[in-house]
Amino acid sequence: MKARTRNVVEIFPGALKALQELNASVENGGVSPKILELVHMRASQINGCSVCVSLHGNALKRMDETDDRLFAVAAWRDAPFFSDAERAALALTESVTRLSDKSDPVPDDVWDEAAKHYSEEALAQLLVHIAGINVWNRLNVATRQLSWAGGILQSEHKAKAAARN
């Protein structure tokens, strides 16, 4: 697979700065960095953004996340590895990411469960992060950006693996 174009933020560096500033503006909202990474990973899985799945999966690994939990993010409802607060954040992520899938995109039960675990400020932080990762996913998927693994393009990974064999 080949990217359609350079990453949009390479073409418009101001967009990168704006997206980074958006993320930084809600940095201290009370939600743990690990939960925010889980949120980023789940939205990226839904949107099919391999760049962000890889990036946030690697970030979670650096946070000492277990393989069991990483592998189960897409099936969090059926996995015993997630706290109630994490489940609430993941449910909110799915609802906000899939806005057009239902007549009531963010049902009261999803919102109310999230509100049980997060303050108003933390909910606002979650929403900004969910919106932000959806922007990144859409930019990357639309332009077919290549997945990264530990800072190395997947194509470079394949070439290095082939050279070792």
Average pLDDT across each block of 10 residues of the chain; the chain has 165 residues. List them in order.
Answer: 89 94 92 97 97 95 96 97 98 97 94 98 97 96 80 49 56
23 within domain boundaries: no
State the total domains in the chain.
1
pLDDT at position 146 is 87
Burial 96-122 (b: 16+ CB within 10 A, else e): bbeeeeeeeebeeebeebbeebbeeeb
Q: What pTM does this model have?
A: 0.88
Do 96 and 105 touch, CB atoms closer than 8 A?
A: yes
What is the distance of C-alpha 131 from the center of its chain?
10
68 within domain boundaries: yes
Which SS3 state, helix, strand or coil, does residue 10 take? helix
Residues 6+ apart with CB under 8 A from 1: 144, 146
15 within domain boundaries: no
What is the distance of C-alpha 134 from the center of its chain?
8
3 within domain boundaries: no
86 within domain boundaries: yes
pLDDT at position 117 is 98
22 within domain boundaries: no
Burial 133-161 (b: 16+ CB within 10 A, else e): bbebbebbbeeebbbbeeeeeeeeeeeee
122 within domain boundaries: yes
pLDDT at position 2 is 87
Do 93 and 36 touch, CB atoms closer than 8 A?
A: no
150: left (phi over 0), alpha (psi -120 to 50) or beta: left
pLDDT at position 65 is 96
CATH number of the domain encompassing residue 141:
1.20.1290.10
pLDDT at position 154 is 47
Cα–Cα distance for residue pair 3/15, rounded to 1 Å: 19
Q: Which domain holds residue 114?
A: 31-164
9 within domain boundaries: no
